[in-house]
Amino acid sequence: MEGGLDLSRKRQFKGINANFTTAEFPENINLKDIEFQLGICIESFEHIPPKLICPYLNKLSKLNNVNYLITVPYEKGLFFSFKENFKA
């Protein structure tokens, strides 16, 4: 969802029982306050500095009984060229 982070900050997801948290650094994740069964990170990991990817994944792996859906864009060739040349 485009603009999902801004919507989550404003709590504008109507009819959805969801909580959103952000952490600038892995150590900012408080595992004691987290209770969920599914974590979703759609096309966001590519914005994390490479040196922090493993620390984030390590921290999240410490949560038991949690499944994650993590996606990153894979744009190559013609599609990537088209997107880069025709950005709105």
Predicted local distance difference test score (pLDDT) of residue 11: 59
Question: Average pLDDT, stretch 19-28?
Answer: 78
Phi, psi values for residue 42, rounded to 5°: -105, 115
pLDDT classification of 63: cutoffs 50, 70, 90:
confident
Within 8 A by CB and 6+ apart from 34, the residues are 21, 63
- How far apart CA 21 and CA 34 sit, in angstroms, is 10
pLDDT classification of 16: cutoffs 50, 70, 90:
low
User: What is the percent of the chain where pLDDT is above 70?
Assistant: 58
Q: Where are the beta strands (DSSP E) in 1-53?
A: 38-42
